[in-house]
Structure 1
């Protein structure tokens, strides 16, 4: 995959909804004959969730985690004509334009650390990543990981970057953010988070963040900040502030981990 762009495909057939998701993601077939889990721009948190999916998913990929390919999906509301469910019809019509597709992993199933030991290094690295991006949705109840071909794959990052739901003109990142990792699915098995920090933090450079932010379509970025460039600058400022605060939140993670031993 080109590191500087996401592929664009067109949805040709709506196959079925995944009703376990609150925003009713659906399985679609596209004009490249691929199957994708479609995240709708007209659902739930809308474009903010799709933006978080790209930023966090692509950051995770570049840090060495397995993430299904993300693509941009053009959706024609005419697909709603063949759908008998009125709720899904409305969702398809409300999502005309560019949506997000996640490569469908056939035969995958929800990851359970009781079934497969993730390893202390992977667990620590994932704890570090989720703390960096304030991902509040990786608990025992909802780990948002799949096991596919005996490997762990990360999915569903729309609940991360929660600060962008409160944006307004003049927004600045806070010097510190509270993140409660006590219920994180990886906390009981994580190794040294300080070691994970030493390995991962140097990789999250301003250039890397800029490359990832460039993958988000301009039309998805919050106009409250004035322009797409201003929105990207705000995300970049958040990452700079969060990384600067890393010694403190990594120490807090280590305290939580020690309390679980």
Structure 2
């Protein structure tokens, strides 16, 4: 298990198709040189590279745990795109994002998950709630479920709001052991009745080797300008230690989720 490694493909963006203005960071549908369409997340958007790091870590950990997640790729953006875009806001975003960005395979024809229309079983609901408590993902609510139904299967998207501690890195060691109080707003909380079972299973499936393999994917360029760490290696190490500590103390966020569910129902 120590040899566990993850690799992401690299693509070059060849065509900007259309913006997805419903997203706060204004991602876009774009075509790459492999002929596929992607949802492109820009490092020049509001939250900067931290949102891409959260997207990368969240998506790949979800994949390790068996969830369906669109393929993530590193997407390079040439400076020529900013010159030809007529929309000034988009032009500024493209210019600020020249270089390495992150993209998710576009699930053409997918529909947004609606819990009143599509029912999922209690085991899957519990798994997703556990994942979001682990990642401190605040963005899986009734207002924005960040789940898609594609070919009658549930897919998880948009983990950029996870790991919100890294926007300041204040007391991050302590934050790793804190409950996730925002679980009370989770769209699947009412159905998450198997959290203890999921916790025991996921603590076996996910380990330090998996975590470090994911963290090691973070490109150097996304770690530039961080004043809290002397080196990029130390920066990555902090992400790894946060996640390892959170996994070791999963009973804390598990108890919070169970309490929130009792209050809710």
Report the CA distance shift for 1:175/1:158 in structure 2 as closer, same or farther (over 3 A).
closer
Separation in 2, partners of 1:59, 1:221: 20
Whether contact under 8 Å (1:51, 1:221) holds in the other structure is: no
Residues matched between the structures, number: 259
Query: Are 2:26 and 1:24 aligned?
Result: yes
Whether contact under 8 Å (1:174, 1:241) holds in the other structure is: no
Structure 1 stretches of 4+ with a deviation exceeding 4 A read: none
Q: What do the CA deviations read for 1:1-60 (whole angstroms, capped 9, x no partner)?
A: x95211000001111100101111011111001111110010010100000000010000
CA shift, 1:248, in A, is 2.3
Q: 1:251 — aligned with what?
A: 255
Taking structure 1 as the reference length, the TM-score comes to 0.94
Whether contact under 8 Å (1:173, 1:237) holds in the other structure is: no
Q: What do the CA deviations read for 1:140-199 (whole angstroms, capped 9, x no partner)?
A: 00111111111111111111001111127x963436224121110010111211111011
Q: 1:85 — aligned with what?
A: 87
Q: 2:125 — aligned with what?
A: 123
CA shift, 1:116, in A, is 1.0
Contiguous gaps of at least 5 residues in structure 2 = none
Separation in 2, partners of 1:260, 1:3: 40
Separation in 2, partners of 1:178, 1:44: 27
CA shift, 1:214, in A, is 1.3
Separation in 1, partners of 2:148, 2:119: 13
Whether contact under 8 Å (2:142, 2:186) holds in the other structure is: yes
Moved more, 212-221 or 32-41: 212-221
Separation in 1, partners of 2:150, 2:5: 23
Whether contact under 8 Å (2:176, 2:242) holds in the other structure is: no
SS at match of 1:182: helix
Moved more, 236-245 or 25-34: 236-245
Query: Are 2:234 and 1:233 aligned?
Result: no
SS at match of 1:200: helix
RMSD: 1.7
Q: What do the CA deviations read for 1:125-149 (whole angstroms, capped 9, x no partner)?
A: 1110100110011100011111111
The one of 142, 163, 174 aligned to 2:165 = 163
SS at match of 1:27: strand
Q: How does 1:99-114 map to 2 (within 5 A)?
A: 99-114=101-116
The one of 178, 186, 189 aligned to 1:187 = 189
SS at match of 1:65: coil
The one of 35, 38, 44 aligned to 2:37 = 35
Whether contact under 8 Å (2:64, 2:206) holds in the other structure is: no
Q: 1:147 — aligned with what?
A: 149
Contiguous gaps of at least 5 residues in structure 1 = none
